[in-house]
Structure 1
Amino acid sequence: MFAAKSLLVIGIFYLCSILPVTLHAETSQNGTWTTAAPAPTQRTEVAAAALEGKVYVVGGFSKPSLQNALKFAISSDMEVYDPTTNTWSIDTPLPEGRHHAGIASLDGFLYVIGGFTKAFLSIWHAVPTVYQYNPSSKTWREMAPMPTARGALGVAVYQNRIYAIGGYDGKHNSAAVEIFDPEKNTWTTAAPMPTPRDHLAAATVNSRIYAIGGRPELDYHQNMSTVEEYDPHTNQWQPRSDMPTARSGITASVIGDRIYVLGGESGEGTFATNEAYTPANDRWQVMAPMPTARHGLGSAVVNERLYVIGGGPTPGGSFSQVNEVFTPPKSATLKE
């Protein structure tokens, strides 16, 4: 009897000792999250990009206050996060407030493209403006405007060009794909996106650009799971596997050969969803969800870690200063 009880106790002890390791292993297969220093201000509908090892968070809506009431809480702020020191600093604000703008980092400069601003009593006035930020001089410069004014667009970079994709022009969805050459300060037009939409995400992997998710006519009750691939060399689009979860108001960043698509909103609430797409095999995998569900968030990658910042925890006008960090799984290939 004593021997049997001893074996039972030893068995329970052994099970308890290995269980946390097993759970940790299962979690790490889908990546892990940690929390970093929160942003200085609460914002949503921000634009974020990495530049010289830091994360720049620009524009959006600030939490309403008496100080920003005349601007309809539309922000021109630029806050900079340094992952090395886990600290924030305040940098030169945008020349004019923007929300739902596109953003790109290229050749040591930051570009903020399009978006919405206020006009009379509306906060949905689409603009074509392009602002270039020089981190050395800490100054902004206005560049040649987009041919098509729009906000809630997707932006991607390929071979020293910036691609502005889709969005909302103030009345309708735009299918426009316009290409900016910063060196020449000129725009050209490419084949339109097959499925016009706004609040989408765009990302580049290898030699292709992907337009992911979104919504029609600003309506998050009709979220899309659509994924379309653009080949800059042939100027052609083709459909790819749908995203597992139809979402809009999302953000996307690339680590290695995968696109991670995070967050979003619908009529029922916000998403903590984190889904990874591997273009090489046209497959999606559900990854570890964000600790904080939100939409209108920004993301950027520094040293193989994905920083997801700001955004609204509830649909519509809500705000946060959350800064959560995703570390992808070490395995080189997503599970089938």
Structure 2
Amino acid sequence: MASMREGIGRAGLGAVSHGDAIFLVGGHNSAGPLRKLERFVPDPGKTRGGTWDALPDMLARRSYLAAVGVASRIFAVGGSADGRALNTIESFCPSGVEWEHWFQMPPMQTKRTLHAAAMGQDTLFVTGGFDGTRDMATTECYDPATNTWKWKDVMNVKRSYHAMCPASYVDERGERHSCLYSLGGQNRLDEHGLRALDSVEAFDLHSERWYDKAPLPEGRLGAAAGTLVDALGEEWIYVCGGSNGDETLCTAVRYHVRTNGWSDAPPMAKQRLGHVAAVQGNKLYVFGGFDGTEALDTFEVFDPIEGCWGSLLKMGVRDEADLEARDA
């Protein structure tokens, strides 16, 4: 497999943590939407980022898509290409290194870009997004066992460009609650609302209903989020970067799932909008995005136990021709 050239900035991409690797899917650079699929295997050490490989391209160009691991496969869901919102889906098997045509997977019931997706109880849930006309509150889910899509409870707030991740907590009665959290985003048809939403809601996987949660300390759109576990085994959702409607942010906040409360977290090294996050080994990896000027070719890693971000690292590796030219 070919190595990826260093310095390729990307925003609006998707990421999936699968096995010991993180797969980066689609996105866009200055030339437009991308078909790229790349694999990053983190180094367990603290000084090196890890290894990168370029894998076969998708069939369709997709930016502002959602990427999710479903069973043993990686799904690229919706997104936009040439200004059009998509309802199509492509599936990739990491062991087979071959993309399936989108028509081999049933399409979503709605075209979506700037949406969010997550797995819950072996089911793929997709929320919100923009259908080409409006920002949406709808939720639909894909059941791999039946290969079908179904509508689910509508979110309380219409939103696109939001973050979504699973998390769980144990209540005072000792019962575990597993939920999917939808955080921030935007609703551009709400003329009287905030440019960047501070709204947070959780989809309870048992009752299959959305419930409002404590709002973000500051509204954020285009942020990235992931769930990490502290030294006591408590789950926290980290939300980093995005925009407050006026500027691109490097700041981060964290949400204590059990107590429904927010606190500040260490800021990233770079301002990022339209970036993506993935959790691997209880560390939060944040890739790419837009800093207000250009698409970024860097990533950074947060360790919740140490409570800090690592060094700013480049996405990808130089190919042999670049290395020879550099050393000449």
In the alignment, the residues of structure 2 paired with residue 221 and residue 194 of structure 1 have an alpha-carbon distance, to the nearest angstrom, of: 16
1:204 pairs with 2:175: no
1:93 Cα deviation after fit? 1.1
Give the residue type in structure 2 aligned to 1:181: D
Q: Aligned equivalents of 1:38 and 1:228: distance in 2? A: 40
Report SS of the residue matched to 2:218: coil
2:29 to 62, 68, 77: 62
Q: Counterpart of 1:249?
A: 222
**TM-score normalised per structure 1:** 0.79
Specify the structure having the higher radius of gyration (Cα): 1
Please give the residue correspondences for 1:219-298 in structure 2 after superposition, counting only pairs within 5 Å: 222-256=195-229, 257-298=235-276
Please state if 1:131 is matched with 2:90. yes
Instruction: Report the residue type matching 1:87 in the other structure.
Output: T
User: Which string of whole-angstrom CA distances, capped at 9 and with x for unpartnered residues, describes residues 127-163 of structure 1?
Assistant: 1111111001111123111001111111111110010
Regions of 4+ moved over 4 Å: 37-40, 218-221
Deviations 1:214-259 (A, max 9, x none): 0113999700110011112222111110011210011111113111
C-alpha change, 1:52 and 1:61, in structure 2 (3 Å) is same
Of 17, 21, 44 in structure 1, the residue corresponding to residue 11 of structure 2 is 44
Amino acid at match of 1:134: C
Kept in 2, the 8 Å contact 1:168–1:217? The answer is: no
Of residues 153, 157, 176 in structure 1, which corresponds to 2:115? 153
What TM-score, normalized by structure 2, do the two folds share?
Answer: 0.81
Find the aligned partners of 2:301 and 2:165 in 1 and give their Cα distance.
19
CA separation in 1, counterparts of 2:27 and 2:214?
A: 31
- Residues 306, 326 of structure 1: 8 Å contact kept: yes
Q: CA deviation at 1:283?
A: 0.7
Cα deviation digits, residues 250-274 of structure 1 (max 9, x gap): 1111113111111102443211121
Which residue does the alignment assign to 1:103?
67
CA distance in 1, matches of 2:41, 2:244: 32
Cα distance in 1, alignment partners of residues 244 and 35 from structure 2: 27
2:301 aligned with 1:325:
yes
Q: Is the 8 A contact 1:46 1:298 kept in 2?
A: yes
Give the superposition deviation at 1:94.
1.2
Tell me, yes or no, if the aligned pair for 2:56 and 2:98 is still in contact at 8 Å: yes
Counting aligned pairs with the same residue, the percent is 28
3-state SS, counterpart of residue 189 of structure 1: strand
Q: Contact between 1:310 and 1:319, CA under 8 Å: does it hold in 2?
A: yes
- Using the alignment, how far apart are the partners of 2:122 and 2:7 within structure 1? 32
Task: Letter of the 2:184 partner, please give it.
Answer: G
Q: d(CA) in 1 for partners of 2:5 and 2:118? A: 26
Q: Write the distance in 1 (CA, Å) between the matches of 2:305 and 2:217.
A: 19
**Counterpart of 1:188 in structure 2: which amino acid?**
K
Question: Is the contact between residue 38 and residue 323 of structure 1 (CA under 8 Å) also seen in structure 2?
Answer: no
Distance 1:131 1:225, change over 3 A: same
CA RMSD of aligned residues (A): 2.0
Aligned-partner Cα distance in 1 for 2:24–2:195: 28
2:188–2:195 CA contact under 8 A, matched in 1: no
Contact 1:39–1:310 (Cα < 8 Å) also in 2: no
Structure 1 unaligned spans of 5+ = 1-36, 65-72, 332-336
Helix, strand or coil for the counterpart of 1:43?
coil
Q: From 276, 289, 292, give the equivalent of 1:314.
A: 292
- In structure 2, the residue matched to 1:76 is 35
